[in-house]
Structure 1
Amino acid sequence: MTGTLYGLGIGPGDPELITLKALRLLQAAPVLAYPAPEEGDSLARAIVAPHLPGGQSEIAIRMPMVAARFPAQEVYDWAAEEIGGHLAEGRDVVALCEGDPFFYGSFMYLFGRVAETHKVEVVPGVSSLTACAAVLGAPLAARNDVLNVVPATLEPQVLAGLLRDTEAAAIIKVGRHLQKVRKVLGLLGLLDRARYVERATLDEQRILPLAEMEEDSAPYFSMILVHRRGEAWTC
């Protein structure tokens, strides 16, 4: 029998936000795979480190943490081959994904390669979207609100078009696009309704109104939440 690849959503950073199912699979699998920068430690592995039983084989999927599709796509080809070798030998593999595997998660690229030849199961996790709302203490949307998830990487005119009539929005992938997003929200009269969350659930978590942000850029793990009424429960 061949092994199964499990894509584990491990949450946004707090080790206690891993699900019971993900924890069980994590501790039972003989092989552990996780994304990592070209140099240095893996955040995904650090999140689950308190739960690791020891003795597992590990596959560090090291790649440039940039938006370009190459050479990252070549790295995923290599990782799929490495993982496939273990699966062919009957060993289950757990692949870690921060947040949820299918909410902008990098696991989707492994899934697309491995699912054609092996059994793959996705275990959902607490997403950055829900984690940011929780630490902010602000519901994302209510009643008939439409929630838009908008990448900050879009061109200003596209951002403006998506946000102009929005009732609620989560702006992701902020990074070096922070000032562009601030300008667009200011022009739309939404700057005072926008709140910034950085590294949600981690010790270095940071929360403040976007209008008070003085920096020109933000970390990758940051998000801006906007609600036109200010609070979702407001009529």
Structure 2
Amino acid sequence: MTAKLYGVGLGPGDPDLMSVKANRLVRNTRDIAFFRKAGRSGRACKIVEGMMPEDAAIFAMEYPVTTEIPLTDPRYNEVLSAFYADCTAHLEALVRSGRDTVVLCEGDPFFYGSFMHLYTRLKDRIPVEVVPAITGMSAAWTASGAPITWGDDILSTVMGTLSEDALTRAMTEADALVVMKIGRNLPKVRRALAAAGKADRAVLVKYASMEGQEVCRLADCDAETLPYFSIILVHGQGRRP
């Protein structure tokens, strides 16, 4: 089999932060796939706007659910599993027919990305190559204007979807923090930060490296929910010369 499936990391959102290899693959591959929410154009597609070949064949993989069903509901995994099975069947057919195919991945493909679910299903069936990228959290701490870690600081990445107790434990044990998947979990995240004694150091970054980027102290934000591209940081204060 000569064709290959590429999971191409696009980086945090600024096209200038894409790797040379990612740029080359997007510009020279005719079959392009990407994830998006139903009814939306898709952030990944927007990042590479003007780069894709004019005759590119587009395969938009539209999530059947996002927040409509709670994560704890058994139907959530059932619906998504069926969705990924359909996507992998389509992508496998393209590659087996001899067509290189690029899957556009926001951020890095192996960092909390949907491409992971395609990769685990396809890696033993067809050739798959992953192209790494700058993560959204790296762009966020760069936008904050301060290093996220010093010396021996322990950095933890935690999801706002965790229970409040789990969040509090992780936040208490870490020296530096990246909090993702916040959205409507913001009040819970605020309480956990306060319980961990880190609320006064928390920084909020929205749309890091993208149009509309905002950076502020979390304490100065009075919102009850946050847009998808939002990250909360707590910078480490560890050893330095």
Q: What interval of TM-score do these two structures reach, taking the shorter chain for normalisation?
A: over 0.9
CA distance in 1, matches of 2:223, 2:193: 16
Write the distance in 1 (CA, Å) between the matches of 2:220 and 2:240. Answer: 23
User: Which residue number in structure 2 is paired with residue 8 of structure 1?
Assistant: 8
SS state at 1:138 partner: coil
Which residue of structure 1 aligns with residue 121 of structure 2?
Answer: 113
**5+ residue gaps, structure 1:** none
1:205 Cα deviation from its structure 2 partner: 1.4
Of 134, 144, 163 in structure 1, the residue corresponding to residue 142 of structure 2 is 134
Task: State the distance in 2 between where 1:234 and 1:179 align.
Answer: 34
Alignment partner for residue 160 of structure 2, among 146, 149, 152? 152
Match of 1:191 in 2: 199
Scaled by the length of structure 2, the TM-score of the pair is 0.92
Residue aligning to 1:27 = 27
Q: CA deviation at 1:26?
A: 1.2
- Give yes or no for contact 1:15–1:50 (8 Å, CA) kept in 2: no
Q: Which residue of 1 aligns with 2:210?
A: 202
Shift, 1:35, TM fit: 0.3
Q: Distance in 2 between matches of 1:70 and 1:44?
A: 25
Instruction: State how far apart, in whole Å, the 1-side matches of 2:16 and 2:224 are.
Output: 32
Letter of the 1:213 partner, please give it: C
Amino-acid identity (%):
36
**Cα distance between partner residues in 2 of 1:188 and 1:219:** 24
DSSP 3-state at the match of 1:12: coil
Secondary structure at the residue paired with 2:34? Answer: strand
Alpha-carbon deviation of 1:13? Answer: 1.1
Distance 2:10 2:98 in 1: 24
Kept after mapping to 2: 8 A contact 1:2/1:89: no
Do the aligned partners of 2:28 and 2:52 also contact (CA within 8 Å) in 1? no
CA RMSD of aligned residues (A): 1.5
Q: Distance in 2 between matches of 1:122 and 1:188?
A: 37
Match of residue 82 from structure 2: 74
How many residue pairs align between the two structures?
Answer: 233
How many angstroms apart in 2 are the aligned matches of 1:51 and 1:129?
Answer: 25
Q: AA paired with 1:90?
A: G
